[in-house]
Amino acid sequence: MCGIIGYIGTKKASPILIAGLLRLEYRGYDSAGISTVEKNGLSVMKDKGRVKNLYNLDGIDNLEGTIGIAHTRWATHGKPSKENSHPHLDNSNSFAVVHNGIIENYNDLKNFLLDNGYTFRSQTDTEVIPNLIHYYYTKDEIDDNYRVLRAVQKACKDFKGSFAIQVISKFMPNNMIVVRKDSPLVIGKGDKENYISSDIPAILSFTKDFYLLNDYEFALLSKDTIEFFDINLNKLDKKVTSIDWNTTAADKSGYDDYMLKEIYEQPTAIRETIGSHLPENEPCHFENLNLDKKFLSNINKMYIVACGTAMHAGLTGKLAIEHICNIPVTVDIASEFRYRNPIIDKNTLCIFISQSGETADTIAALKLSKSKGATTLAISNVIGSSITREADYTIYTHAGPEIAVASTKAYTSQVILLNILALYFAEILGSVSQEEISKMKKEILALPNKIEKALNTSTEIKKFAKKIYQEKDIFFLGRGVDYNTALEGSLKLKEISYIHSEAYAAGELKHGPIALIENGITVISVITDEKLVEKTLSNIQEVISRGAKTLVITNQTLPSNNIDEVIMVPNTNVLLSPIISIIPLQLLSYYISKEKGLDVDKPRNLAKSVTVE
């Protein structure tokens, strides 16, 4: 995910900005840039590639400005390029902006600005921001110290989506404006200087005192002062938060463990992954994915190939593609795929999923598929990774770096990306009605808020974890799409708590596994498909009658029963439900591991990226 740095003070800004960007490199990016307020106006220095490339830009050593903004970009709208890099200027070079997040209605705003004589230099959604600020600035006839602030406020009222924005302008050479909605942004308070960042760790070496902005809160900064305002520009009184973290703790943003941090980052990860693929009132979009109707109509089958958690994401993607595209899909474990002589030809599309893009088994399976004439598509979280270089096409999740070994936000990002891909295919093929597609798009856009609500189950989950953390065997049940969630929930538990667990399709209980159910054993079930409520409840009653303790994760209204614990999560389209119903299971695994005193982030015998077969 993108990173933001800002400085306003008495020192030269450019070295501080670049140093801050280097601290944000772990977030992943494809380009970087800075903008400073100089005596002759705004200076912008940017390029694609690594932050260190900025040191080689002509003139960067001559920058004297003490106010500046900086950014590392991970491409969503537009390919990685110098033109698409941040900061972005308005047409008059009067305003410079860096932005994290997604302006979902940027096409409408861009058309409005085009109609009003503005031109655009990039393919990004961000470029509408400085131009819209300029538009409102020119319409404001009150020339006072808050004119730029009012222009920024009016522009933000027009934006739909998520954003963290920094603005500098030649019209306010001693000030900077920042604002956020749904994307993180913090202000570090110093002595005659202030720092801004998307992450506390990037500026923690400069200050321990921070202002934490809430949604739609604006800050007008000088080197000596910070004024805070709400969306209506009423002044706010904000308190400083002192953070006394060591470097390791700071990297976790105050969470005890990376895994917990990453669980709670899922609303943002989903927003970032949805990105530009779901433009408002337009077809789904994947840049550089040139699969036309003729090709898709001739596909005889698809394979989704992956390992571990990514394979579980693939199982959910299979259901979405088959349901709305009417194309048969086989999900295969990468380590088994190439040893069984898979039936592949030129009319086969093979999709390979790897968070790191370096999974050896998956890369080997991809190479085999290409040798047999298949078209290959990689899904990865890492730009430029091996799998992306090998595949014919690549699409990216934008989960940001995932440090904990047990995958959480990468998994949910993969599931949402596969669902959007299914919609993309369906729109090209015309395989379902526009009404069904529109409804599903609406549900996808609502997911980040629903995930936030699912995270509120943590207190209930923590209590249940205390009851069962000493158990040796736990079983997971589900039907349909919920079976896939059960598989992933079971894997999470095994990975970080070392408790033996198994997931079964609930209807399979009576075909053998029910022999393992005995008094006091825990059985966890997932129920999100209204068509399968009665059937799944019947299976749950079978284990209750044999003395099992039961936990049910559901978004359905269940009839009166003797289930021990029911955790309610928000309802959504059944194909999307795994993204929400997995949240309590991730939390359950985490809290059980903590109760056992284990290393949550680095479970024994496991590695984050499996680069050997």
Catalytic residue set: 2, 608
Query: DSSP 3-state assignment of 604?
Result: coil
Question: Position of tokens 């000030």?
Answer: 175
Do residues 381 and 334 touch, judged by C-beta distance below 8 A?
Answer: no
Of 184, 62, 39, 613, nearest in space to 359 by CA: 613
Q: Which two tokens stand for residue 560?
A: 């009166």
SS (H, E, C) 534-588: HHHHHHHHHHHCCCCEEEEEECCCCCCCCCCEEEECCCCCCCCHHHHHHHHHHHH
Residue 100, beta-bridge partner list: 164
The DSSP code sequence of 84-146 is TSSPEE-TTS-EEEEEEEEETTHHHHHHHHHHTT---SSS-STTHHHHHHHHHHHH----STT
Do residues 562 and 544 touch, judged by C-beta distance below 8 A?
Answer: yes
Quote the CA–CA distance of 110 and 165 in Å, as a whole number: 18
Q: Which helix (H) or strand (E) holds 527?
A: strand 522-527
Quote the CA–CA distance of 538 and 558 in Å, as a whole number: 12
Cβ count within 10 A of residue 354: 31
Quote the CA–CA distance of 158 and 110 in Å, as a whole number: 12
The DSSP secondary-structure symbol of 613 reads -
Of 254, 289, 278, 462, nearest in space to 375 by CA: 289
Quote the CA–CA distance of 140 and 81 in Å, as a whole number: 34
Do residues 350 and 603 touch, judged by C-beta distance below 8 A?
Answer: no
Q: Which two tokens stand for residue 188?
A: 């570090």
Do residues 489 and 481 touch, judged by C-beta distance below 8 A?
Answer: no
Do residues 150 and 270 touch, judged by C-beta distance below 8 A?
Answer: no
Query: DSSP 3-state assignment of 597?
Result: coil
The edge-to-edge listing of strands for the beta sheet with 301-306 is 329-333, 301-306, 348-354, 375-380, 393-396
Of 380, 378, 381, 356, nearest in space to 365 by CA: 378
Interhelix angle 147-158/128-139, rounded to 10 degrees, is 130
Cβ count within 10 A of residue 112: 16
Q: Helix, strand, coil: what percent of the chain each, to 5? A: 40, 20, 40
Positive or negative: CA dihedral 253, 259, 263, 265? positive
Residue 241, beta-bridge partner list: 210
